[in-house]
Amino acid sequence: FSTISQLSSQQSTPPSFGIAFDIDGVVLRGNTPIGGAPRALRRLYDDSGILKIPFIFLTNGGGVRESKRALELSELLGVEISPSQVVQGHSPFKQLVNRFENELIVAVGKGEPASVMSEYGFKNVIPIDEYALCFESIDPLAPYKKWNTMEAAVNSARKCSIKSERVQAAFIVSDSVDWSRDIQVLCDILRTGGLPGSGEGPQPPLYFAHDDFKYQGAFPSERFGMGAFRIALESIFNSIHSEALKYTSLGKPNPVAFKNAEVVLKLLVSTLYHDHAHSGSHDFRTLYMIGDNPFVDIKGSRQAGHPWFPILTRTGVFKGDCHSNHAEFPANLVVDTVEDAVNFIMRNES
């Protein structure tokens, strides 16, 4: 793929608006494009495939590196997406590198949670799959889990050293694949100050990429997300521990996610317009957030305030009729599909 700057070399005046697209329930369900997403995205490039409108994907999903996700999205949606246009729920974890750079941290979730964290600069990260293998019988149900084939992945020297090294933080990077084991092992880490099998100790910090209770997915009704996993973990932890679980969730609707998205869009504009002298200083009049989840996308962009303009689609979590809005977190505009949203934006901005 060409880089963003190669794509954009002929442009001169930066537009005063940008767009953040949610992914699940807006442009994809599972791996299937929805709502005319490929056509809608093509409108943001000129005839020679040069990006003309600054846009990013702002998703709570994740589990893979942004560069890999950019390639997957490019293939699924038929336009060239650069890694700098992909902001995932776990992308703000980068900002914690200084604090945990060389500390032992455990990464949880589907996909490649440890590679994600390593790419962000964390140097001593272990996926919970491997961590659990270092402690014999930590998961008494493991022998019944037919998919457990990882035994060979951890060498025994590493096993011994990991067992005596204190875990300094746990990061839930993406959806837990094995709730029973992950809740068990996380409770072991969190109640012992990071040394499973030992006595009680101060709770190490716990970070979630996001707190989505549910998401749309490919199944007709919504699926439980990371927020549901958090409730399960918290409820069990709180019933075995005198102090309530402490945690931070960094994805949408946390204002940090929207601040970060604005910074990423500003940097994208600097790259598109070669404005390195004023890198990241562009001011947007409007940033459109196109999402399907009122409690996440709309709540977050409303809270973030200027310059955010929330648009709600009807292809995902929100299932109201075509004249309704969400009662608690109303969007500025409700549309059927992402294509309708982009058509509105292009009309509004012309």
Between residues 97 and 218, which has the closer beta carbon with respect to ligand G3P?
218
Between residues 178 and 292, which has the closer beta carbon with respect to Mg ion?
292
Q: Is 211 in the site for ligand G3P (CB under 6 A)?
A: no
Pair 335, 311: CB distance under 8 Å: yes
Between residues 88 and 192, which has the closer beta carbon with respect to ligand G3P?
88
Distance (Å, rounded) from C-alpha 210 to C-alpha 230? 10
- List the one residue out of 5, 20, 3 whose CA is nearest residue 276: 5
Q: Which is it for the CA torsion 39, 44, 50, 55, positive or negative? A: negative
Pair 45, 342: CB distance under 8 Å: no
> Which of these segments, 19-27, 118-126, 242-250, 299-307, binds ligand G3P (CB under 6 A)?
19-27
Between residues 60 and 91, which has the closer beta carbon with respect to ligand G3P?
60
Minimum distance, C-beta of residue 310 to ligand G3P, in the bound complex (Å): 14
Token duo for residue 115:
């590679």
Q: Is 109 in the site for ligand G3P (CB under 6 A)?
A: no
Between residues 100 and 295, which has the closer beta carbon with respect to ligand G3P?
295
Q: Which residue has the tokens 């990006």?
A: 51
Q: Is 337 in the site for ligand G3P (CB under 6 A)?
A: no
Q: Is 23 in the site for ligand G3P (CB under 6 A)?
A: yes
Distances (CA, A) of 288 to 20, 261, 304, 312: 6, 11, 12, 10
Q: Is 59 in the site for ligand G3P (CB under 6 A)?
A: yes
| Partner from ligand G3P, Mg ion, none contacting 204, C-beta within 5 to 8 A by type | none
| Partner from Mg ion, ligand G3P, none contacting 262, C-beta within 5 to 8 A by type | none
The correct pick among 14, 18, 24, 339 for binding Mg ion (CB under 5 A) is 24
The correct pick among 14, 19, 20, 25 for binding Mg ion (CB under 5 A) is 25
Q: Is 212 in the site for ligand G3P (CB under 6 A)?
A: yes
The correct pick among 8, 20, 22, 51 for binding ligand G3P (CB under 6 A) is 22
Minimum distance, C-beta of residue 222 to Mg ion, in the bound complex (Å): 10
* Residues sharing a CB contact under 8 Å with residue 16, sequence separation 6 or more, in sequence order: 283, 284, 285, 286, 349
Binding to ligand G3P (CB under 6 A): which residues in 222-251? Answer: 225
Between residues 175 and 188, which has the closer beta carbon with respect to ligand G3P?
175
Minimum distance, C-beta of residue 264 to Mg ion, in the bound complex (Å): 18
| Partner from Mg ion, ligand G3P, none contacting 61, C-beta within 5 to 8 A by type | ligand G3P
180 CB burial (10 A radius; 0-12, 13-18, 19+):
middle
Q: Is 25 in the site for ligand G3P (CB under 6 A)?
A: yes
Q: Is 292 in the site for Mg ion (CB under 5 A)?
A: yes
The footprint of Mg ion (CB under 5 A) covers 22, 24-25, 292-293
User: Footprint of ligand G3P on this chain (CB under 6 A)?
Assistant: 22-25, 59-61, 175, 212, 215, 225
